[in-house]
Amino acid sequence: MGSYQLAITIGLLLAAIVNNSTHDRNDTGSYRIPIAVQFAWAIVLISGMLILPETPRYLIKSDRPEKAARALSRLRRLPADHPAIQDELAEIQANHEHELSLGKSTYLDCFRGGLLKRQLTGCGLQALQQLTGINFIFYVRFQRALFIPIRECSKRSSSCDIILFQNVFSRDIFQGQQL
């Protein structure tokens, strides 16, 4: 499992916990608290954007090499005149000049020639992956399996069957047993 999918799964878990914690409220907190939690994560990200310096690559591209040296020295925790910093800045500058020598390109170039086939293949794979229903299983698992015990499923629904099926298989797989 990639770290991106793991982050999504952890986010789903936290969302399920917050939703489950507020679903019995009879006031406006039942919807305001989950929205406030979403804003809390956004505030953390915005604060990080304000604290972090511009990237040295962007500063070289903007023709500000002295600021690029300061930003890189801050990131590497070395003085700006350190040989490692100067070597890396020279490499960034050389890479930028090489990119300029290749000429201008636009986003339309992503859909020309052999790249169109790659784009369509990638988009098709993403669409088909979503059609497998894996997100439904994630949502049902976190919304129901964690907070509604199987014994409380009064109706024998397909979602309860999926949860029971997942619990049996994941328990056996994670314990190293074969069915």
Across 100-113, average pLDDT: 86
- Return the structure tokens found at 116: 């169109």
Across 54-70, average pLDDT: 93
- Return the structure tokens found at 38: 């979403």
pLDDT at 91 over 90: yes
Q: Look at residue 13 in the predicted model and tell me its pLDDT.
A: 81
Sign of CA dihedral 169, 172, 177, 179: negative
Q: Look at residue 154 in the predicted model and tell me its pLDDT.
A: 45
> Predicted confidence band at 59 (pLDDT cuts at 50, 70, 90)?
very high
Instruction: Find, among 119, 124, 147, 136, the residue nearest to 23 by Cα.
Output: 147
Are the beta carbons of 67 and 59 closer than 8 angstroms? yes
Distance in angstroms (rounded) separating the CA atoms of residues 61 and 71: 14
> Considering the chain, what is the average pLDDT of its residues?
79
What percentage of the chain exceeds 90 in pLDDT? 31
pLDDT at 96 over 90: yes
pLDDT tens profile 9-51: 788 788 888 888 888 889 988 889 988 988 988 999 999 999 8
